[in-house]
Structure 1
Amino acid sequence: MNEEKKKALVSLKTAKGQIEGIIKMLEDGRYCVDISNQIIAAQALLKKANMLILKQHMHHCVKDAVKEDKADEKIDEIIDILEKIIKK
């Protein structure tokens, strides 16, 4: 596992813990603004993990596809992902 994937895994595990904490906050009837702030923090970790995975994809999969003159499919995949990110 390369460095980007390791960092993404750490972010995802941290987000998982935060989400479990958010669920407990809801069950305990905690203050809505506090819950919302925790949701925002979890979303930031998910975005960070996604960017790390995309970085890894660009540096490895796309780079290899360019060397093999097969980059069009990989570029289209990245464009599809970027469109999903931008629509949010």
Structure 2
Amino acid sequence: MNGEKENALKSLKIAKGQIEATIKMLEDERYCVDVSNQIIATQSLLKKANLLIIKQHMNHCVMEAFEHDKGSEKIDEVIDLLSKVMGK
């Protein structure tokens, strides 16, 4: 596993813990703003993990595709992915 994937995995594991903590906060009827802040922190980790995975894809899969004259397929794939990330 390369560095981007390892870091993404770490972020996802932390996010998993934050989701579990957020569920407990709701069950304990904690203050809504505190719950919302926990959700925002979790979203930030998920975005970070996603960017690391996209970076890994660009640095490895896309570059390899260009070496085999199949780069345009990967570009379309990445554009579709980015449009989802951007909410378009």
TM-score (norm 2): 0.97
Read off the aligned partner of 1:80 and give its amino acid letter.
D
Residue number in structure 1 paired with 2:19: 19
What is the RMSD computed on CA atoms of the aligned residues?
Answer: 0.8
Alignment partner of 1:72 is 2:72: yes
Unaligned runs of 5+ in 2: none
* Aligned pairs, number: 88
Sequence identity, in percent? 69
Runs of 4+ in 1 over 2 A off after TM superposition: none
Q: CA–CA distance in 2 between the matches of 1:84 and 1:58?
A: 16
Q: CA deviation at 1:86?
A: 1.3
Residue number in structure 2 paired with 1:81: 81
Residue number in structure 1 paired with 2:37: 37
Q: CA deviation at 1:34?
A: 0.1
Q: CA–CA distance in 2 between the matches of 1:86 and 1:52?
A: 16
1:13-33 CA-partner distances (Å, limit 9, x unpaired): 000000000000000000000
Q: CA deviation at 1:87?
A: 1.5
Deviates more, 1:60-69 or 1:72-81: 72-81
Q: CA–CA distance in 2 between the matches of 1:63 and 1:14?
A: 30
